[in-house]
Amino acid sequence: MRDTLIDSSFKYCEQIAKGHYENFPVASLLLPKEKRKYVYAIYAFARAADDFADEEGIEGGAAKRLALIDEWNGKLKDCYSGKAYDPIFIALAKTVEDNQIPIEPLDYLLNAFRQDVVKQRYERFDELLEYCKYSANPVGRLVLMIFGCHDEEFFKYSDKICTALQLTNFWQDVEVDLRKERVYLPEEDMKRFGYSYNELEVKQENENFRNLMKFEVERTKKIFDEGKRLIEMTAAAGKELKNLSKELKLTWSGGTTILKKIEEINYNVLNQRPRISGFDKIKIFLGSRI
């Protein structure tokens, strides 16, 4: 009966993961089947908490959203104490047990979601990198752990890729985030290129804005390039990590393709959201298999 409950909980997490659109792949078919369920469990855990942070319509406003995240954190602690009743946490508990995952990276994700509720502006780029430490980097580390890797050297390059992916999401979603009254463009960079919050609020796309976005895209490309070493490292490692290297290449290619799409629309992300087409996905998938 316990095995049936665990299996149904993993299935529930899979449905959550497959029910959300993502430009970046979530547990693609390149991952071994036995590993995908663990990725789905982590995704479902993070997705639910992210929804608490993003759901503006929750009665009670920010205080209520923070309370929901704190409640989720309580369930996470219970999960590590052997008390899991929610299907997401039943699947997560099995994921943690099978892959020797510490609580810290999962706790970091919740810290990022709390920050989304209370912080809407970033003065410096370093603040954004600190945010990525909690919002994005834990995901790469968790995936590596699922593949049996707890090596800090691997984590270092994984952090680069995950940070670049998070930044790419910010740049493609400037307008989406603006509707949520969030601005991830660093204020120091806006000032550097002569672009103001007032112009941003009315979605004014001018040469200053395009130069600002070009600067952010180029900087993000460099971080992607710094992280590319991880693909080579996993490809040269043991059998399990070799399987992961193709997924990493797929993810890396997806992120860099989004940056190219931003360039193709002349950085005008305030009026259109760059998206990866079906043809783009085929090219990325075929390229990841080389």
Mean per-residue pLDDT, 186-204:
97
Is residue 282 pLDDT above 60, yes or no? no
Q: How large a percentage of the chain has pLDDT more than 90?
A: 68
First to last CA, the chain: 43
Confidence of residue 281 (pLDDT cuts 50, 70, 90): very low
Q: Is there a contact between 84 and 106 (Cβ–Cβ < 8 Å)?
A: no
Residue 58 has pLDDT above 70, yes or no: no
Residue 283: per-residue pLDDT:
45
Q: How many CA atoms lie within 13 A of 29 on its CB side?
A: 5
The phi and psi torsions of 195 (rounded to 5 degrees) equal -120, 140
pTM: 0.89
How much is the average pLDDT of 24-51? 79
**Percent of the chain surpassing pLDDT 70:** 89
In this prediction, residue 190 has a pLDDT band, given cuts at 50, 70 and 90, of very high
Which residues have CB under 8 Å from 151's CB, separation 6+? 144
Rounded to whole angstroms, how far apart are CA atoms 45 and 91? Answer: 9
If one counts every other C-beta atom within 10 angstroms of the C-beta of residue 196, the result is 12
CA dihedral 137, 141, 143, 148 (to 10 degrees): 170
Each domain of the chain, given as residue ranges in start order, spans: 1-118, 121-290
pLDDT higher than threshold 60 for residue 266:
yes
Q: What is the mean pLDDT of residues 51-77?
A: 83
Residue 38 pLDDT exceeds 80: yes
Q: Answer yes or no: are the C-beta atoms of 267 and 252 closer than 8 Å.
A: no
Q: What six digits make up the tokens of 272?
A: 């259109």
pLDDT of residue 62: 86
Is the domain 1-118 a CATH 3.40.50.720 member?
A: no
Band (pLDDT 50/70/90 cuts) for residue 3 is: confident
CATH 1.10.600.10: does it fit domain 121-290?
A: yes
Is-contact 234 242, C-beta < 8 A? yes
Q: Round to whole Å and give the CA distance between 89 and 79.
A: 6
Angle at 170 between CA 121 and CA 50, to 5 degrees: 80
Would you say residue 25 has pLDDT above 80?
Answer: no
Comparing 124-128, 193-197, 219-223, 285-289, which segment has the lowest mean pLDDT? Answer: 285-289
Rounded CA separation 194/33 (Å): 50
284 falls in which pLDDT band (50, 70, 90)? Answer: very low
Give residue 20's pLDDT: 67
- At 279 the pLDDT is 44
**pLDDT at position 24, please?**
43
Across all residues in the chain, what is the average pLDDT?
88
pLDDT in tens, 230-246: 999 999 987 778 878 88
